[in-house]
Structure 1
Amino acid sequence: QERGPRPAPQAHARAPQPSAAPLRITRSRTAWALAVFFGLQATAAYITMGWMPQIFRDAGVPAGTAGLLLAVTMAMGVPLAFVIPRVATRLPRQGPIVLALGGCGLVGYAGLYLAPAGGAWVWALLLGIANCAFPLALTMVGMRARTGAGVAQLSAFAQSTGYLISIPGPLLVGVLYQHSGGWGLPLALMAALMVPQTVVGVLAGRDRTVEEEATR
Structure 2
Amino acid sequence: MTLRVESLTLGYGATPVLRGLDGAFAPAALTAVVGPNGAGKSTLLKGLAGLLPPLAGRVVADGTVAYLPQQAEFDPGFPLTVLDLVLLGHWRQCGAFAAIGPGQRADAERALAAVGLAGAERRLIGALSLGQRQRARFARLMIEDGAVILLDEPFAAIDAATTADLMAILHGWAEAGRTVIAVSHDLDLVRRAFPHTLRLGGDTIAWGPTATVLPRREAADV
TM more than 0.5 = no
More strand by share: 2
Taking structure 2 as the reference length, what is the TM-score of the superposition?
0.22
TM-score (norm 1): 0.22
Q: Which structure shows the higher helix fraction? A: 1
Q: Which has the higher contact order (CA 8 A, sep 6+)?
A: 1
Rg larger in 1 or in 2?
1
